Amino acid sequence: MAKSRAVATSVLPVEQEERRDLNEDNIRSAIPGDTLWDAKIRGLHLRVFEGRMSFYVYYRTRSGAQRKPKIGDYGTITLSQARKTAQVMLAEVVNGGDPSKARQDARDESTLLDLWKEFRTRGGSDKKSASEDLRIWSYWFSGEKHPSRTPPHRAKMNWKLSEFNFQAIDDIHKSIKSPVAANRFLALLSVMFNLAAGPLKWIDSNPCNGVKKNRERKRRRYATPEEVARIAAALTRHDGLKTSNLPAVAFIKLLILTGARLGEIASARWDQVKGTKLVLPPEQHKTGRKTQHDRVIQLNSAAMEVLDSLPRTSGTLTGIQSPAKMWQVVRVEAKCPDLRIHDLRHSFASVAVGAGYNLAQIGELLGHTSTQTTQRYAHLIDEAAHEAADKIGERIGVMMAEKGPQGSESQGASKKSL
């Protein structure tokens, strides 16, 4: 073989001038330790090991760096396929490329799972929506909170970030039937990819950009008095079935009686019960990071009775993080299967309206920091005021219609009453 192969752009090392040819006959007779070099594609060779034979291609970059990337194992790919792949790679070298480095970069590229871990480390676990983010991630990707269920997009958790483009995100978003769930999914991914494209510089741009959110209808669902009675009956029934139901039953009752958020009851400890108040520090409730104020949850006598039924421990009030399983059963038994557990908080507010409390008072009870948040209940106050006006109008109408024997005396009495 001529020495001319050992120039700067060579794809064949000098020491391999004497070699066995790479062909099917020599492959069949090769033994471990042999290296067969191809006469057709310079640099392509087959290395023989115990139990396998693998194709490699040798080349040097324009800067002189030597590379020997593996193409594949013989049997998985044929000699013909190895030649085609080597030819493509060597064409990249001629054009100044480095296919081996490109492959390594692709292997080293971060995945969506890597981004999730980085997101949680860099503040994601401290967000007020951290628990909801974890629920969304688990439901669609990891499945850690639902071990008996296969997440719809588990495989995508290991996708390289470069595999996520606008079309991929948009297709997933459109495949989710619930408009609200789809939007929450999109919001989480968008925040994560903003981190990747911004501070981390892992990608050039956020692939969620341009994906159109679904239109959402504001949900206004309140438990009716009849539903509350049926829920109470179902809770009492389950409380009497077995002792292990007590924590979940008590949890739901506390949500109904206090208007507290699920996370607030889940994290509340016994040492935070101060008389007839439950006092949560800023880091333990949704608005605390914004206001740096304690959240005070008023405990009425019925709520105090629920607490008295629970064993006092060094942990949380109920000892559980969520009564979700019990609630799924109870709401079906109470014939209100569409009533979400968070709707109990709205129902508390609607009862407060009926009892005559104004928006400011309701906002204080619910722990709202913004009057705009409480404003969602304004229509209930309007309805209550309208109903009161109707009743007053009916009463006045009756009084005005009353007439005595001559008419004048009763009318005088009516005017006096007015």
Percent helix / strand / coil, the chain, rounded to 5: 55, 10, 35
Give the residue among 384, 327, 306 at the shortest CA–CA distance from 352.
384
**41 vs 133: CA distance, rounded Å:** 52
Question: Is the pLDDT higher at 1 or at 382?
Answer: 382
SS3 341: coil
SS3 62: coil
**Coil/strand/helix, residue 23:** coil
Kindly tell me if the per-residue pLDDT of 55 is higher than 80: yes
> For position 347, what pLDDT does the model report?
80
Q: Which CATH superfamily is domain 3-108 in?
A: Integrase, DNA-binding domain (3.30.160.390)
Q: Report yes or no on whether pTM surpasses 0.75.
A: no
**What is the pLDDT, as a whole number, of residue 418?**
35
pLDDT class of 8 with cuts at 50, 70, 90: very low
CATH number listed for the domain at residues 225-369: 1.10.443.10
Instruction: State the burial class of residue 152 (Cβ atoms within 10 Å of its Cβ: 0-12, 13-18, 19+).
Output: middle
In the structure encoding, which two tokens stand for residue 228, read together? 């509350």
* Element at 20 (helix H, strand E): strand 20-21
- DSSP structure class, residue 316: B
pLDDT at position 390: 67
Three-class secondary structure of residue 149 per DSSP = coil
How far apart CA 338 and CA 247 sit, in angstroms, is: 23
Amino acid letter, 313: T
Q: Residue 310: how many CB atoms within 10 A of its CB?
A: 16
Are the C-beta atoms of 267 and 254 separated by less than 8 Å?
A: no
β-bridge mates for residue 66, sequence order: 60
Higher pLDDT, 39 or 416: 39
pLDDT at 287: 64
Helices (H), 198-317: 225-241, 246-258, 262-267, 288-291, 301-308
User: Which of 22-31, 153-162, 192-201, 358-367 bottoms out in mean pLDDT, i.e. has the lowest?
Assistant: 358-367
**Helix axes 378-401 and 408-417, enclosed angle (nearest 10):** 150
pLDDT at 183: 94
How far is Cα 250 from Cα 326, in angstroms, rounded to an integer?
A: 11
- Number of alpha carbons in the 13 Å side-chain half-sphere of residue 68: 9
Q: 3-state class of 49 per DSSP?
A: strand
d(CA 36, CA 48) in angstroms, rounded, equals 8
Q: Model confidence over 96-146: pLDDT tens digits? A: 888 877 677 656 688 999 999 999 998 887 776 787 888 899 989 988 766
Average pLDDT value for residue range 249-267:
89
Which H helix or E strand runs over 121? Answer: helix 112-121
Measure the CA–CA gap between 166 and 276, rounded to whole angstroms: 53
